[in-house]
A and B are shown apart, each in its own frame.
Chain A
Amino acid sequence: MTAQAQQPLIILGSPRSFTSLICAMLGQHPQAYGMPELNLFITDTLREMVDELSGYRQIQLHGLMRVVGHLYAGEQTMASVDMARRWILGRLSKRTTDIYYELCERVGPLRIVDKSPVYSLKREYLERLGEAFPDAYYLHLVRHPLTQGESIMKVAKGLMAILADSIDYDVEPPQVDPQISWFNMQENILDFLDHIPAERQLRLRGEEVLNDRRNGLSEICRWIGIKDSDTAIEAMMHPEESPFACLGPLGAHLGNDINFLRSPALRDGSIRLGDLDVELPWRNDGRGFNPEVVEMALELGYT
C-alpha cells in the first residue's frame, strides 16, 4: 500500500442513514470504486472474522464474497461464491488489514469507497481502520434520529436495533429504541474523528445531499480531490449501475441494506427532515428523545 490515491474514502454513519445509496453513488465516480459492506475491520485476522461472523451473522460476509467473485472472476454466481469461500479460506491467517490492502491494489488506481455501518458500533473497529489507513478520508453521514429510527424499525420489526442492543432496559418491559444506537454510534464516530485532521473529514446530512444531489456530490468530489465534471456527476446519479446494487447469488445475496438492493435507483422527491420534539412512534410510553440525543442532534445541525 503506497499510493495516496488508494487511501479509501470511508463513509461513517449509523444504519439506515443513506450510506448505502450515497456509497453506491460515489462508487460510480470514474475515479472511485464503491464496495458493498466489507466489515473487515471488526477483527485483526480473517480467521477471527470468519469465526465471529457465524450463525445468523454469516450474512455479514456476503459483501466480501460478492466483491471477491466480481473482482477475481468477473461474476457473482453460486460458482463464484464457492470460489470466494476458497479465497477466504486461503487467507484465514492474514490480517484483515492486509486483505483490505489487497483489495485496494486490485481496484487501483480507483479509490475504494466503503461504508460498513458496523464499524461505528465500536471504537476498536474504528481505531483498527485508522491504523490501517492513516491518510484515509472520512465522510460522516448523518440522518435525523427520528426518521432514522422510523426506518430502522421498519426492517424486520426492529431487528437491526435488537442486534445492536439498542434496547431501553430502564423500563419494564424493556423497549426497543433505535435512538440509543443512533447516539452511541454518533458518539463513537465523533470521538474517532477528533483525532483525524480536519481536512480529511467532512460531515454532511444525508437528507441535504440527496435533496440537492449534484451540489452535494460536487462538494464531496472537491473535498477528496477527484473531478466533479458533468460526466462524473452524471455517472454518480446512477447508483443502480453498481455491480453490487442488486441482490446477489444464493449464498451471498446481501452485502448491503436489503431495501437498497431491491430498489437501488434514485427516486424523485425530497426527503423530509424530522422533528426532535416528538413522542417517539416506536415507543408505547409516550417518551421522546433522550436529552443527550437532542443535544447530539442539535450539534449535528438538526432541529
Chain B
Amino acid sequence: MMDPHEKRLRAMDPATKPGLSLNNFRRVCENGFGDGHNSFAHSMAWFKDQLYIGTTRSNFQMIKIQTTFQNLPLPMWPVEGPDDAEGLYRELDRHSQIWRYTPQEKQWDQVFRAPAVMGIHEARDAVARETGYRAMLVYQGESDPEEALYVATWAVSRSPGALLLRSSDGEEYRPVSPWGIISGLPVTATRVLVPFKGKLFTSPTGTRGYDTKFMINVSGNPIIYENADPGDGQGIWTQVCEPGFGEEGNKGIFMLCPFNDYLYAGTFNNEGFQVWKSRCEGKPPYQWTKVLEQGASRGGLNQIVATMKVFNGALYIGSAIQNGGHDLSLNLGPAGSELIRLHPDDSWDLLIGGTRDTPQGRKIPLAGIPAGFGNIFNGYFWSMEEHDGWLYLGTMDSTIWMRYLKVDSYPDDVRDIVKRVGPESMVRSDGGCDLWRSADGVNWLPITKVGFDNHYNLGIRNMVSTPHGLFLATANPFGPRVAVERDGEWVYTDNPRGGLEIWLGSHDHSADVDRDESAPGAV
C-alpha cells in the first residue's frame, strides 16, 4: 500500500502542506544535559545560527518547601530533595546554566553558569546569583551596535535580585541592569521580555517582599514597563500602565504580545484573565483598552493568559491555572486550558474549550475539542510557535501527579473518574505533555499526548522555529531521583528520564529511524 504522503506533488496542490508528525522529531538532549537538576528549559532563543537554552534548576525541590504544597496528600514527594530552605542552599547546586547547540555538528556546549554572589541573608554565605533564566530574547537596544542576546534571570531569594544579562557573542554574559532589573524595584524574576515599536517591554513575575505564599507566579506589581535602551546599565524603566490596568483583580501581567500595531497584555486574575491592548504611542502611561475579561466568560478556570501567538492574522491566547492546572489555595480546577482566537476587531472565537453563553453570544469550540484537548490535567497551554505554516501548541500536563496524589484530594467528579480508570492507567495513557498542531487554528491534530513517550516530560515550555526545524524544550522536574512504589513501599531511585529534554522536528528526519537512537546530547 502506498503512503499518501509519498504521492507526487502537483504543481498546484490545494492540500495543506504536511506538518511535523511524531516520526519527524528527534531528541537532541535528554536528562537535563546529563544533570537531572536542570528541570525547566525555561528560556530558548535562536541567535547567530545556534540554539540557546536557559535552564532553571531543581524546580520540584524548590516547590516542595513552599506553603501551597506543604499539605498535599502524598505518600512521598515525587523527587528527592531537602525539607527546608536551608537544605536547598546547603545541599543543591542551584546555579542555572545556559547551553548552546550547534545543529550542523550536533554539539552541545555549556556556555554559561550562574556565578556565586554574597547572599543578602544574615549568614552572608555565597549563593547562586540566579537559579533560572526565565526569558531570553534577541534584541538590539539603542546602544547596541548589533543584535544581542538578552537574558532575564530568576534570582534565588537570598540573591540580591534578578538581572538582565546581555551577550553579543553567546559566550560572555554581562549584567546590564541593576539588581532587580528595574531600578528601585526588588524584582526576582520576569517571564516577559517583548520588543515593540523600538522599545523593550517587561513586567515583574516575582518581587522580593511580596507575600507569594499562595500565588507563586505573581509579584504584587502588575505593571508593564518599557525601556528603549535596556542594555545601558541604568535600569531606567518607564511605567506604561496603571497597576493592574486599574483593576484590583489583575494580580500580574503574564504575557505581552504585539499584534496589529498594538501591544496586547494578558493578566493573571482569579476571576478570569483579562486582555488589554495599547498602541503604546504618545507619552506614557499609555491609553489601554480592555478586550477580554473574566477569562473570556469562563471565569477563574481561565485564570492566566499563559501564552499568546500571532498566527494567520489573529492572536491566539492559551489559558492556564497556576500550580499545574489546579490552584489548591483557591480551589480552582483541576481544569483543562482553553484556546481563544482574538481578531483585530476585538471579536473572538472559542477554539478549544467549553460551550457557554457570553456577552458576545453563544460560544461553541470551533475545533470541536473540549478544554485541555479533552484532558482536564492539561492545565497550561504553555507555548505556541508557528513553523512552516502550522501553529504548534504545547501543553503542561499534570496527569503524572495521579501516580503520587491520594485520590481523595480531588473534587468528587474527578475522583470518580480517577477511581474508575485507575491512576496508573491514566498516567500510562495520558501522562506527559501534549503537542498539537493546526494549519488553520480550527482543525487540530495531536503529535504526542504522552510527552514523547516520557511521562516525566511535564510540559513543553518553549518552542523556536529555525531553519533547521522546530526546536522544542520541555519542563521535566522529575530528576535526578524520583519516587517509585516498590512492593508497597515508596523509595527514591535514580531517574534517567528526568531532567529537561530538547527535541528537533524536521521533515529531513526520515520516518524509519528509531527516535530513541537519536543523539543523547549529554555533556
User: Given contacts A72-B443, A86-B443, A246-B1, are A30 and B10 in contact (CB under 8 A)?
Assistant: yes
CA distance in complex: A126, B12 (Å):
30
- Per the 8 Å Cβ criterion, residues 6-38 of B in contact with A are 7-8, 10-12, 14-19, 21
Closest to B445 in A: A79
| Closest-CB distance, A31 to chain B (whole angstroms) | 9
A96 to B234, CA, bound (A): 65
A71 CB contact (under 8 Å) in B2, B14, B444 = B14
Query: Are the CB atoms of B11 and A73 closer together than 8 Å?
Result: no
- When chains A and B are docked, how far (Å) is the Cα of A89 from the Cα of B370? 13
B467 at the interface (CB under 8 A from A): no
- Name the residue in B2, B3, B444 with the highest tally of chain A Cβ atoms < 10 Å from its Cβ: B2
Q: Are B368 and A76 in contact (CB under 8 A)?
A: no
A70-97 residues with Cβ-Cβ distance < 8 A to B are: 70-77, 79-80, 82-83, 86-87, 89-90
Which residue of A71, A89, A245 is within 8 Å of B15 (Cβ)? A71
A107 interface residue per 8 A CB criterion: yes
**Complex Cα spacing A74 to B444, Å:** 12
Question: Known contacts being A74-B439, A248-B4, is A86 close to B369, with CB within 8 Å?
Answer: yes
| Interface residue? B366 (CB, 8 A) | yes
Q: Once the chains bind, are B439 and A73 in contact (CB under 8 Å)? A: yes
Which one of B7, B11, B439, B440 contacts A243 once the chains associate, using CB atoms below 8 Å? B7
Q: Does B367 contact A (CB under 8 A)?
A: yes
Q: Are B368 and A86 in contact (CB under 8 A)?
A: yes
Binary flags per residue of A174-206, CB closer than 8 Å to B gives 1, else 0: 000000000000000000000000000000000
Contact B367 A247 (CB under 8 A): no
A241 touching B17, Cβ below 8 Å: no
Interface: B420 (CB within 8 A): no
A122 to chain B: which residues have CB within 8 Å? none
Cβ distance A226 to chain B, nearest Cβ, rounded Å: 13
CB-based nearest B residue for A68? B443
Residue B5 at the chain A interface, CB threshold 8 Å: yes
Interface of B is mostly: loop
Q: Which of B425-473 touch A at CB < 8 Å? A: 439-440, 443-446
Q: How far is the CA of A41 from the CA of B126 in the complex (A)?
A: 77
Verify B4–A86 contact, CB threshold 8 A. no
A30 vs B10: C-alpha distance when bound (angstroms): 8
Chain B residues, Cβ within 8 Å of A30: 10-12
Residue of B1, B11, B19 touching A74 (CB-CB under 8 A): B19
Q: How many A-B residue pairs have CB under 8 A?
A: 75
Question: Are the C-beta atoms of B369 and A75 separated by less than 8 Å?
Answer: no
Indicate if A242 sits at the interface (CB-CB under 8 A).
Answer: yes
Interface 0/1 of A156-167, CB less than 8 Å to B: 000000000000
Chain B residues with Cβ below 8 Å from A245 are 2, 7
Measured CB to CB, the closest approach of chain B to A252, in angstroms, equals 11
Picked from B367, B369, B445, the residue with its CB within 8 Å of the CB of A80 is B445
- Cα A40 to Cα B102 with chains together (Å): 52
Q: Find out whether the CB atom of B4 lies under 8 angstroms from the CB atom of A70.
A: yes
- Closest Cβ of chain B: how far from A60's Cβ, in Å? 20
Please indicate the chain B residues that have their CB under 8 angstroms from the CB of A154 in the complex.
none
**Smallest Cβ distance from B506 to chain A, in angstroms?**
16
Rounded to whole Å, the gap between the CB of A117 and the closest CB of chain B is 23
A33 at the interface (CB under 8 A from B): yes
B439 CB to nearest A CB, Å: 7
User: A283 near B: Cβ within 8 Å?
Assistant: no
User: Judging by beta carbons under 8 Å apart, are A87 and B443 in contact?
Assistant: yes
Of all chain A residues, the one with the shortest Cβ separation from B440 is: A72
Q: Which of A33, A76, A107, A110 contacts B4 (CB 8 A)?
A: A76
- How far apart are the CA atoms of A106 and B442 in the complex, in Å? 15
Q: B16 touching A107 by the CB < 8 A rule?
A: no
The answer to whether A75 and B4 have CB atoms under 8 Å apart is yes
Query: Which residues from B are CB-within-8-Å of A72?
Result: 16, 439-440, 443
A110 touches B19 (CB 8 A): no
A74 B17 Cβ-Cβ under 8 A:
yes
- Say whether B368 contacts A89, CB under 8 Å: yes
Shortest Cβ distance from residue A144 to the other chain B in the assembled complex, whole angstroms: 31
> Which chain B residues lie closer than 8 Å to A73 at the CB level?
16, 18-19, 439, 443, 445
Measured CB to CB, the closest approach of chain B to A3, in angstroms, equals 14
**Residue of B8, B12, B14, B19 most packed against chain A (CB within 10 A):** B14
Q: How far is the CB of A119 from chain B (nearest CB, A)?
A: 23
CB pair B446 A79 closer than 8 Å: yes
Nearest-CB residue, chain A, relative to B389: A74
Q: Provide the bound-state CA to CA distance between A245 and B3, in Å.
A: 10
* Bound: A4/B397 CA distance, A: 50
Q: Are A75 and B443 closer than 8 Å at their CB atoms?
A: no
Hey, which chain B residues are within 8 Å of A240, CB to CB?
Answer: 2
B-contact 0/1 string along A255-270, CB 8 Å cutoff = 0000000000000000
Q: Are A246 and B19 in contact (CB under 8 A)?
A: no
A18 to B8, CA, bound (A): 23
B3 CB contacts on chain A under 8 angstroms: 246
Q: Are B4 and A83 in contact (CB under 8 A)?
A: no
Q: Which residue of chain A lies nearest to B7 when distances are taken between CB atoms in the complex? A: A243
| Complex interface residues of chain A between 192 and 250 (CB less than 8 A to chain B) | 238, 240-248
In the complex, chain B residues whose CB is within 8 Å of the CB of A83: 443-445
Bound-complex Cα distance A244 to B18 (A):
15
Closest-by-CB residue of A relative to B366 is: A90
With a CB–CB cut-off of 8 A, which chain B residues contact A82?
445
Interface residues of B in 219-261 (CB under 8 A from A): none
**Contact digits for A102-113, partner B, Cβ 8 Å, 1 yes 0 no:** 000011101000
Smallest beta-carbon distance B140→chain A, Å: 37
In the complex, the chain A residue whose C-beta lies closest to that of B17 is A74
Knowing that A80-B445, A86-B443, A110-B14 are A-B contacts, what are 10 other residue pairs whose CB atoms are under 8 Å apart, sorted by A's residue number?
A30-B10, A70-B4, A71-B15, A72-B439, A75-B21, A75-B445, A77-B21, A87-B443, A107-B14, A108-B14
Chosen A-B contacts, 28 in total, with CB atoms closer than 8 Å, are A30-B10, A30-B11, A71-B16, A72-B16, A72-B440, A73-B443, A73-B445, A74-B15, A74-B17, A74-B18, A75-B445, A77-B21, A79-B21, A80-B445, A83-B444, A83-B445, A86-B368, A86-B443, A87-B368, A107-B14, A110-B12, A241-B7, A242-B7, A243-B4, A243-B7, A246-B1, A246-B4, A247-B1
> Sorted from nearest, which 10 A-B pairs have the closest CB atoms?
A86-B368, A74-B16, A74-B18, A107-B14, A79-B445, A246-B2, A76-B4, A72-B443, A243-B4, A241-B8
